[in-house]
Amino acid sequence: MNAQKQKLLLIVCALVTLGALLATAPIAFGQGCIAVRNSPCTPIFPGNFTNFMASESHWVGSVSYRWLHSDRHFIEDSEQTQRQAQGTEVVNDIHSFDVSATYGISDRWSATMTFPFTYADRSSLYEHDLVHRHTMHAGGLGDIRLVTDYWLLNPHEHMDGNLALGAGVEVPTGDDKASDVAHRATGDVIRPVDPSIQPGDGGWGVILEMQGFQKIANNLFGYVGGSYLVTPQEQNHTELTVADVPAFQAFITDDIRHDSISDQYSGRFGLSYFLFPEKGISVSLGPRIDGVPAHDLIGGDMGFRRPGFSISVEPGISVSYGRHNFSLTTPVAVYRFRERSAPEQKLSRPTGDSAFADFLVFATYSLRF
């Protein structure tokens, strides 16, 4: 097969794979009240892509940081501006750290283990006495991920275009029952925190992912990436924070009393430009979508979840020097949508609201050994 046909095949494979990963949910990103805990769809900067891969019998270590602040509520794509005006908005502040080690089984095949850690605050009125704002906290080790990736073409011979496919497992090592003090009108009680700040979700998951790039002209590349987390289990045994409050009993049925173990997905594509090749500096720009579907690919859909998505514009920069690489991206939300959950559909209830972030910060440092 000649080089031109190989490039065409790569482009077709990338589009088909990304479509397969994302089409499993209705066009659906949500970061904030919507519990997208981990975001394995990491950026790739093609001009320096050898700094992101582990060659045979070698390692790449990386530390990633994610931050978000969410306080703007939406029902479908309609912002509920009265929440902030009334001071009843729910505010999430989440700091996440991923510590990863990648080993090169061969120059094309690698395996990565990721240890996620999180610290989160959530302040609200309705989870307390409905009058005063209080904050609940959660943190610790999240759900460990083990993923293996394979480049379809030899990376050393195809620096202008390549496609990697990956699969792995997410292990329920994170605490899905983290609790804190809820300040109720009748007195303080210990209750589980909201699922959006739980370190884990309590279930096993299967990870499917892909990433690819193709040189367009000179220092300009196109990139594409996507991931989907399949969660066969339906619910864990963690009650909603307000499940013990008498005023909410008419609302809380068995279908939503416990937290849902929900699928998650991410997708991104765009352009990357090798701005200063001699200094290893690349920049990128493109749209990104992350979210939680209302219906899982496998298993049931009951339990409490806030499905939805956000579409963002994601600028980024990468700096490589020798065996070191640093990248920074800041997805800025341009469209947010809170979907109607499966229990809401079953019980003929209107779509609930969710708080979304205006932007996120992703920073990653990698070192090749």
Please, how many CA atoms are within 13 Å of residue 264, restricted to the half-sphere of its CB? 23
Q: How many CA atoms lie within 13 A of 229 on its CB side?
A: 32
**pTM value?**
0.88
- Count of Cβ atoms closer than 10 Å to residue 134 Cβ: 17
What is the count of structural domains for the chain? 1
Least confident of 23-27, 35-39, 97-101, 121-125: 23-27
pLDDT 10s digits, 291-343: 999 999 999 999 999 999 999 999 999 999 889 999 999 999 999 999 999 99
Closest alpha carbon to 101 in 293, 367, 347: 367
Question: Which parts of 15-128 are beta strand (E)?
Answer: 59-75, 78-79, 91-104, 109-124
- H helix or E strand, kind and range, residue 199: none
pLDDT for 22 equals 40
Residue 34: which pLDDT band, with cuts at 50, 70 and 90?
low
Per-residue pLDDT band at 14 (split at 50, 70, 90): very low
H or E stretch at 195: none
Question: Residue 53: its pLDDT value, please?
Answer: 65
CATH number at residue 128: 2.40.128.130
For residues 144 and 139, what is the distance between their CA atoms, to the nearest angstrom? 14
Question: In the prediction, which pLDDT does 24 show?
Answer: 36
More confident residue, 14 or 258: 258
Distance CA(350)–CA(61), nearest Å, equals 46
In the chain, % helix, strand, coil (3-state, to 5) comes to: 15, 50, 35
The pLDDT value recorded for residue 55 is 81
Q: Report the candidate in 273, 361, 366 with the shortest Cα–Cα distance to residue 325.
A: 366
Residue 41 pLDDT grade (very low, low, confident, very high; cuts 50, 70, 90): very low
* pLDDT, tens digit (0-9, with 9 covering 90-100), for 121-143: 999 999 999 999 999 999 999 99
Kindly tell me if the per-residue pLDDT of 144 is higher than 60: yes
Spatial separation of the C-alpha atoms in residues 244 and 188, rounded to whole Å = 12
Residue 215 has pLDDT above 50, yes or no: yes
Give me the pLDDT at residue 155, please: 87
Query: Which pLDDT score, from 0 to 100, does residue 36 have?
Result: 56
Range of the domain at 275: 3-368
